[in-house]
Amino acid sequence: MTDMHLDGNALGALFIDLFGQEMTDQNGCCDACGAVNPFGRAVVYRDAPGDVMRCPDCGAVLIVAVRTETRLRVSIQSLRWIEVLE
Amino acid sequence: MERTAVRGRLNWLVAEVVDLIDETGTVKSIVLDCPDWPLQLPGQHVDIRLTAEDGYQAQRSYSIANPPAGEKVVVTVELVDDGEVSPYLIGELAVGDQIELRGPIGGYFVWTPEHGGPVQLVAGGSGLVPLMAMIRALAESDRQVPVRLLTSARSRETLIYGDELRRLQSSLDNLEVAYTLTRAQPADWQGYSRRVDQQMLAETSWPATERPLGFVCGPTGFVETVAANLVALGHDAARIKTERFGPSGG
Amino acid sequence: MAIISRGFKGRRQEDAPRDRVPPGQYVTNDFPVLSAGPTPLISLDKWSLSLTSETGQTTSWTWDEFSALPTEAITVDIHCVTKWTKLDTSWEGVSVDTLLDGVQTSSGFLLVESYDGYTTNLPLADATNGKAWVTHIYDGEPLRPEHGGPARLLVPRLYLWKSAKWVRGLRLSSADQRGFWEGYGYHNYGDPWKEQRYAGD
């Protein structure tokens, strides 16, 4: 059975709100397994009730986002680094 | 790869509906004029926000169907059963109405003719929308990048952009299109008549030795099956980009 | 300032029974499948449920042992914090009271663990006296994996994220401990009738 997950581009707007720029084509490194992938390749579970972004290689939780009417709370979990091309 | 020049928070812009096009019985393209619109790259999407009189808001993402065209943004929306936003966009929205959108969003699932090829596009249902932006960009370009599209729909009546694809197929030497209609086919149907499988992909896509850039879009289950089959055919997973729409589609 | 979308009403349901639909919710006929991660697939011969008291004393049941416990059939309304409410859902399961039968405890809290690592927490008083079950039948059929099968906790009085799917362990604790969503910004208690969706509500 397929899990109803999405790709990292589903969180595209969130990344822009958070990082101030387009992130789906930028790389991040998973702290749990060391895999490097562009954000667009992440495995995303939406409305879980929050949004959960997981490493496409090992499934570790990278980012959790909870958005209320007045604020956006983002928890950075197993992200060792993110890289932005200059 | 060129970067989308988006800096700072995404602001909501107000666009006006200038045209509505019935693509199929349940799919409509909405042509918007949006002042201050930052140009999109083919494959990107927008967020659309609706606000009721009492302040209640709903928001959804839709793929952009047109390549960059100044302040013109076209979204193609499929009616979702029991949906909240799509019934409004398809059933109620009228020319002259205003609508809020922000974007364009997405720098990963993006292709322009400058990126080269060959290109393999595989679409399931409304997953064709962002891939059509790529094909339309190809049609406007001088670059003769070789592109193959395999598109899956339930029937001819639900196939989006059918006439335009046939026209582009004959006018562009570098575009090949294969179709599969999975539930109902017209009597004279020459295309495929089943769900996309490895055999169909083997027959319609570039061989792995060509190292194509792959873009797969549609419902989650469709994307998973196609991506897995492409990898099984020898394609490099790193060269396959996916955009899952979720269980019901875009 | 957002512009008003002419004629847009959203999912407003004027005919929804107000006394059964908490504020901000809409009634759905679907049963949406929402999850923070992939669906774990647990075979019944490997399944077990454990109950650990605050002193560390543990009771556990294999699937066969769990299936031999007395069950109750219940029909309840369920409310998800993502705003959908489903009325008259029917389940069969073992009451948490039954699981606690014979267990001495003075703890105030129940900490819940699932097979995929998910956790949640609630006051023990909200899980006892007929308020919570470990259910394995939904709508007359064995509970499907995407809805939490083989067995999930069901606490209808709180938002559905408290009704942990794929339940593996119940832990009695004197101290409260925030679970997965509570730790990321959802309300620690989650009463739909007070619209306690997020921390600080």
* Full pLDDT tens readout for chain A, 86 residues: 457 899 999 999 999 988 888 999 999 999 999 999 999 999 999 999 999 999 999 999 999 999 998 889 999 999 999 999 87
Q: CA of B169 to nearest chain A CA: how many angstroms apart? A: 29
The CA angle B179-B181-B183, to the nearest 5 degrees, is 170
Residue A18's pLDDT is 87
The nearest alpha carbon in chain B to C10 belongs to B84
Interface of B with C in 145-174 (CB under 8 A): none
Residue B4's pLDDT is 52
Mean pLDDT of B98-115: 96
For residue range B135-156, list pLDDT tens digits in order: 999 999 999 999 999 999 999 9
Contact A48 C146 (CB under 8 A): no
pLDDT band at residue B29 using 50, 70 and 90 as cut-offs: very high
On chain B, the residues whose CB falls within 8 A of the CB of C12 are 52, 56
Mean pLDDT of C100-125: 96
Residue C185 · residue A73 · CB < 8 Å: yes
How many residue contacts between A and C have a Cβ separation below 8 Å?
52
- Whether chain C has a CB inside 8 Å of the CB on B224: the answer is no
User: Is pLDDT of C105 > 70?
Assistant: yes
Residue B250's pLDDT is 39
- Whether chain B has a CB inside 8 Å of the CB on A83: the answer is no
Against chain B, the chains showing at least 3 CB pairs within 8 Å are A, C
For residue range B159-205, list pLDDT tens digits in order: 999 999 999 999 999 999 999 999 999 999 999 999 999 999 999 99
Q: Where in chain B is the domain with CATH 2.40.30.10?
A: 13-105
- Whether chain C has a CB inside 8 Å of the CB on A41: the answer is no
- Whether chain A has a CB inside 8 Å of the CB on C38: the answer is yes
* Intra-chain end-to-end CA distance of chain C, in Å: 24
Contact C184 A45 (CB under 8 A): no
CA quadruple B107, B108, B111, B116: dihedral sign = positive
CATH of B13-105, one of 3.20.20.70, 3.40.190.10, 3.30.420.40, 2.40.30.10: 2.40.30.10
Residue B5's pLDDT is 53
Query: Token pair of B217, please?
Result: 């879009």
Q: Where in chain B is the domain with CATH 3.40.50.80?
A: 113-244
Against chain A, the chains showing at least 3 CB pairs within 8 Å are B, C
Contact C38 A47 (CB under 8 A): no
User: Is pLDDT of B238 > 90?
Assistant: yes
Q: What share of chain B has pLDDT > 90, as a percent?
A: 91
User: Cα-flanking dihedrals φ and ψ of residue B99, to 5°?
Assistant: -150, 145
Task: Tell me which CATH code domain B113-244 carries.
Answer: 3.40.50.80
The nearest alpha carbon in chain C to B99 belongs to C5
Residue B10 · residue B102 · CB < 8 Å: yes
pLDDT band at residue B7 using 50, 70 and 90 as cut-offs: low
- Which residue in the set A1, A49, A54 is minimally distant from C37, CB to CB? A54
User: Is pLDDT of C107 > 80?
Assistant: yes
Against chain C, the chains showing at least 3 CB pairs within 8 Å are A, B
Residue A69's pLDDT is 83
- Which residue in the set A4, A20, A40 is minimally distant from B109, CB to CB? A40
Locate all alpha helices (DSSP H) within C84-160, ordered by sequence: 96-100
User: Is pLDDT of B9 > 90?
Assistant: no
Mean pLDDT of C117-134: 98
Ranges B10-14, C151-155, C156-160: which has the least confidence: B10-14
pLDDT band at residue B247 using 50, 70 and 90 as cut-offs: confident
Domain positions in chain A are 6-82
Residue B248's pLDDT is 54
Residue B1's pLDDT is 45
ipTM: 0.92
Query: Considering chain B, what is the average pLDDT of its residues?
Result: 94
Mean pLDDT of C19-46: 94
Q: What share of chain C has pLDDT > 90, as a percent?
A: 93
- C1-4 contacts: CB < 8 A, separation 24 or more? C2/B12, C2/B49, C2/B51, C2/B55, C2/B57, C2/B100, C3/B14, C3/B51, C3/B98, C3/B100, C4/B51, C4/B52, C4/B53
User: What distance in Å separates the CA atoms of residue B7 and residue B108, rounded to the nearest whole number?
Assistant: 16
- Which residue in the set B3, B245, B247 is minimally distant from A85, CB to CB? B3
On chain B, the residues whose CB falls within 8 A of the CB of A16 are 6, 9-10, 105
Q: What share of chain B has pLDDT > 70, as a percent?
A: 95
pLDDT band at residue B52 using 50, 70 and 90 as cut-offs: very high
On chain A, the residues whose CB falls within 8 A of the CB of C182 are none
Residue B246's pLDDT is 80
On chain A, the residues whose CB falls within 8 A of the CB of B231 are none
Max Cα-Cα span within chain B: 58
On chain C, the residues whose CB falls within 8 A of the CB of A47 are 32, 34, 82
User: What distance in Å separates the CA atoms of residue B149 and residue B159, rounded to the nearest whole number?
Assistant: 14
On chain B, the residues whose CB falls within 8 A of the CB of A13 are 10, 47, 61, 102-103, 105
Tell me the domains of chain C and their CATH numbers: 46-176 (3.90.420.10)
**Maximum mean pLDDT: which of A68-77, B215-224, B240-249:** B215-224
On chain B, the residues whose CB falls within 8 A of the CB of A9 are 45, 105-106, 108-109, 243
Q: CB count, 10 Å around CB of C3? A: 14
Residue B166's pLDDT is 97
Mean pLDDT of C30-41: 94
Ranges C12-21, C58-67, C144-153: which has the least confidence: C12-21
Query: Considering chain C, what is the average pLDDT of its residues?
Result: 96
> Within 13 Å and on the Cβ side, how many CA atoms surround A28?
28
Residue A1's pLDDT is 46
